[in-house]
């Protein structure tokens, strides 16, 4: 092994390469120039982004689809602080990310340097851990630690702050210094099993139940526990309902799938109310999932399995707490139930028959909207056409609010996998396009569709240039209602027709915008044009396609159902 004298910036690049790091997004500045120069010379896959927030969104989706670590960088001051929104998304969603930020020269810090702020204090609550590199010599150690922290326990974003003089400083390293632990190149890096006595008790509770259910969240995907969910459900006859981020824990077409539960549901909320034992796995039981803390009802028998002990009891006091990895815990419960699994399933035959029957009844009830021929296009018809057109191994990336709720309710995964990727960690608007970029990089041969509103798309239009420059053949569907749709719909419900404030947008043809930016643009005004538009978009593999879909301007019909936060709760259809 030979010794090499290199800059701190090159040491960072070498450590990222040692971790077999995937694509990186960032916007350079003087502080990290040696890192950029090393990225060029060493072949690190680095890509210029137009907005640092979108860099984290892209890295977040890349991590969610690949289960590998997403990478971003930002320069001092506004570059670093622009990361905050995306970092909180990754923190709340459990996405493994390493973010490198340039910081002020230590000899000049606090002397009103250009763009300087106390960025470490700003970023610290937005990440799982913030590591500051004080010497060039510690770079290999701290980058290794960043990957370890990002991939262990509940994954999350780790920020590495690199002062200018450290990035530019020179030091002699040995090539052997640049090694990585392969376990921390992807998630989950380390698994822990729940207490054995607790597993036995959980098995007893489930075996005694006549109407058990599993309620699963995004932790299933972080753990890679989809097969474990399906195995337990099928072996013992336990229906599965999911959160927005838990969709795909079991195939949506499974007869055991009860669909989405919480604020918007198909059949799940009623089943939860009637259940005599609920197994909650990898789910934080937050506001959306619990329909503002009204589901499950107080006093329900709940087993909560999670790798973060602090999440158990935060919003609901469970009967039994199991602290451990979702996959390992489910496997242990399945093994504990194996002796009489067949008998359990047989005893629940009548109950299990209710699930597909209720799901079919729901489909019939909403079929007029699912297959609506009205123009402008009905949102339910749009999701129906996406369901038809998207291949089994395709991905739907959904923006924060409007798109995520419609997609979460109506999109169907064809198999047990994370094919639906909403940004529900922070539910920020603007995720659809950069999220689709990250997903396409994680699955380059897959069909990737980003679903966004016109308001969200307006925020990130500049990334069309990034996607075109990178040759990404993704499709972005813009739900065009000339409004901040979710807000306008809530204003309608709260204050009545016509009482809207700061929720309308200019009418814009986003297909024309896409074409002006060198991308493929299609405008859809009739539902009959959806299928050919999707086919044309999926055939365009060398550049992005924007499908501009004209949907209703009526705010009373913008939401999948009446939002439970409003004071004007109305009874009626599940799909607006």
Cβ 250 vs Cβ 230: under 8 Å:
yes
Cβ 575 vs Cβ 369: under 8 Å:
yes
Cβ 99 vs Cβ 120: under 8 Å:
no
CATH architecture for the domain at 3-185: 3-Layer(aba) Sandwich (3.40)
Topology match between the domains 3-185 and 371-557: yes
> According to the model, what pLDDT value does residue 148 have?
97
Q: In sequence order, which ranges of 318-453 are alpha helices (DSSP H)?
A: 326-337, 341-347, 349-370, 379-389, 402-410, 432-442
> According to the model, what pLDDT value does residue 556 have?
85
CATH code, residues 371-557: 3.40.50.970
Instruction: Pick out the chain residues at pLDDT < 70.
Output: 1, 561-576
- State the Cα–Cα distance between residues 196 and 336, nearest whole angstrom: 10
- State the Cα–Cα distance between residues 414 and 144, nearest whole angstrom: 37
> According to the model, what pLDDT value does residue 564 have?
54
Question: Domain 196-356: what homologous superfamily?
Answer: TPP-binding domain (3.40.50.1220)
> According to the model, what pLDDT value does residue 569 have?
41
Q: What predicted TM-score, i.e. pTM, was given to this entire model?
A: 0.95
Query: For the chain, how big is the Rg over CA atoms in Å?
Result: 24
Return the DSSP state at 309. Answer: G
> According to the model, what pLDDT value does residue 116 have?
81
Closest Cα partner for 329 from 316, 320, 339? 320
> Per-domain residue ranges for the chain?
3-185, 196-356, 371-557
CA angle 30, 50, 548 (to 5 degrees): 180
> According to the model, what pLDDT value does residue 239 have?
98
- State the Cα–Cα distance between residues 304 and 300, nearest whole angstrom: 12
């Amino acid at each position: 092994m030979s010794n090499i004298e290199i800059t701190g910036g090159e040491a960072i690049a070498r450590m990222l390469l040692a971790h077999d790091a995937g694509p990186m997004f960032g916007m350079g500045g003087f502080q990290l120039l040696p890192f950029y120069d090393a990225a060029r010379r060493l072949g690190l896959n680095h890509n210029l982004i137009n907005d640092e927030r979108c860099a984290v969104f892209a890295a977040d989706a890349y991590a969610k689809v690949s289960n590998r670590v997403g990478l971003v960088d930002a320069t001092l001051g506004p570059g670093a602080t622009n990361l905050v929104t995306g970092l909180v998304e990754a923190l709340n969603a459990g996405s493994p990310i390493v973010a490198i930020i340039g910081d002020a020269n230590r000899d000049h810090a606090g002397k009103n340097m250009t763009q300087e702020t106390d960025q470490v204090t700003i970023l610290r609550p937005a990440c799982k851990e913030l590591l500051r590199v004080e010497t060039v010599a510690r770079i290999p150690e701290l980058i290794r630690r960043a990957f370890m922290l990002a991939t262990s326990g509940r994954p999350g974003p780790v920020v590495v702050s690199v002062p200018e003089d450290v990035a530019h400083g020179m030091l002699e390293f040995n090539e052997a210094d640049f090694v990585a632990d392969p376990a921390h190149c992807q998630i989950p890096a380390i698994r822990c099993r729940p207490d054995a006595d607790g597993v036995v008790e959980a098995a007893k509770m489930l075996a005694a139940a006549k109407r058990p259910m599993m309620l699963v969240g995004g932790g299933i995907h972080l753990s890679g526990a989809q097969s474990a969910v399906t195995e337990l459900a099928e072996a013992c006859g336990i229906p599965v309902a999911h959160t927005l981020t838990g969709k795909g824990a079991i195939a949506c077409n499974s007869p055991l799938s009860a669909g989405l539960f919480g604020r918007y549901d198909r059949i799940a909320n009623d089943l939860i109310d009637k259940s005599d034992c609920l197994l909650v796995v990898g789910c934080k039981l937050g506001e959306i999932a619990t329909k503002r803390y009204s589901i499950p009802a107080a006093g329900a028998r709940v087993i909560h399995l999670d790798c973060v002990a602090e999440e158990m009891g935060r919003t609901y006091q469970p009967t039994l707490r199991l602290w451990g990895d979702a996959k390992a815990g489910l496997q242990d419960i399945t093994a504990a139930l194996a002796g009489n699994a067949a008998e359990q399933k047989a005893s629940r035959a009548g109950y299990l028959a209710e699930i597909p029957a209720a799901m079919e009844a729901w489909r019939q009830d909403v079929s007029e909207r699912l297959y609506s021929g009205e123009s402008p296009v009905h949102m339910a018809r749009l999701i129906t056409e996406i369901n038809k057109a998207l291949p089994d191994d395709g991905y739907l990336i959904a923006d924060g609010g409007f798109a995520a709720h419609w997609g979460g309710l109506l999109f169907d995964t064809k198999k047990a996998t994370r094919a639906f990727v909403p940004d529900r960690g922070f539910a920020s608007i603007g995720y659809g396009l950069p999220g689709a970029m990250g997903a396409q990089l994680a699955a380059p041969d897959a069909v990737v569709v980003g679903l966004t509103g016109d308001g969200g798309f307006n925020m990130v239009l500049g990334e069309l240039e990034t996607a075109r420059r990178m040759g990404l053949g993704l499709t972005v569907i813009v739900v065009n209602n000339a409004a901040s749709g979710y807000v306008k719909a809530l204003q309608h419900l709260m204050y009545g027709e016509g009482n809207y404030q700061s929720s309308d947008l200019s009418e814009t043809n986003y297909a024309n915008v896409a074409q002006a930016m060198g991308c493929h643009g299609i405008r859809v005004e009739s539902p009959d044009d959806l299928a050919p538009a999707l086919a044309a978009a999926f055939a365009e593999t060398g550049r992005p396609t924007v499908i501009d879909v004209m949907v209703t301007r009526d705010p009373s019909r913008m939401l999948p159902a009446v939002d439970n936060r409003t004071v004007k709760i109305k009874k009626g259809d599940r799909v607006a």
